[in-house]
């Protein structure tokens, strides 16, 4: 009996560590999804670098008590699967939200974004943001715009002066 308790304590400690260390953790209710749909969801999440696990609510509750994220306890009702993302905050929200739009059975319950408990609306808003790479490309475009515009203006002046000189000669 003691070995089982020790194993459960280890699992709770792992969940607590994931809740603290991951950038995003999202709780979902997967009732009504077929095995094929769950496998497709897992595949999409895996490709995005997200870990997706079905966990017992009591174990997650104990982990939230250790990490002082007890606000999540109200969402720990019924079957719960948890998406953990170590790197990207947007990826799990985007994949889960898109999948939930296509499959009404998947329900996003809530989550933790960078150590703060997030509501369903906040997660959906986060899902509407572009990916990390998209944000970087937008930033680079904004940073390049003044230089590009300056180069175009200098080029236009040079062409205008060159045409004017050619006409005089």
- Please give the pLDDT value at position 167: 45
- Please give the pLDDT value at position 22: 87
d(CA 107, CA 89): 19
Stated pTM of the model: 0.74
Q: Which residues, 6 or more positions from 120, have their beta carbon under 8 angstroms from its beta carbon? A: 108, 109, 110
- State yes or no: pLDDT of 63 exceeds 60: yes
d(CA 131, CA 152): 30
pLDDT tens per residue across span 114-163: 888 888 899 898 888 877 778 788 888 888 888 888 888 888 888 887 76
């Amino acid at each position: 009996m003691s070995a089982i308790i020790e194993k459960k304590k280890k699992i709770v400690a792992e969940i607590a560590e994931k809740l603290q260390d991951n950038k995003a953790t999202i709780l979902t209710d997967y009732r009504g999804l077929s095995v094929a749909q769950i496998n497709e969801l897992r595949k999409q999440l895996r490709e995005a670098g997200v870990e997706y696990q079905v966990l017992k609510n009591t174990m997650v509750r104990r982990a939230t008590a250790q990490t002082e994220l007890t606000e999540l306890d109200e969402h720990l009702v019924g079957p719960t699967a948890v998406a953990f993302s170590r790197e990207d905050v947007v990826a799990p929200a985007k994949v889960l939200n898109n999948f939930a739009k296509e499959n009404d059975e998947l329900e996003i319950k809530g989550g933790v974004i960078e150590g703060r408990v997030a509501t369903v609306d906040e997660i959906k808003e986060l899902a509407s943001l572009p990916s990390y790479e998209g944000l970087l490309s937008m930033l680079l475009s904004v940073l390049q715009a003044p230089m590009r515009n300056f180069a175009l203006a200098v080029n236009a002046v040079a062409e205008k002066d060159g045409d004017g000189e050619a006409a005089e000669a």
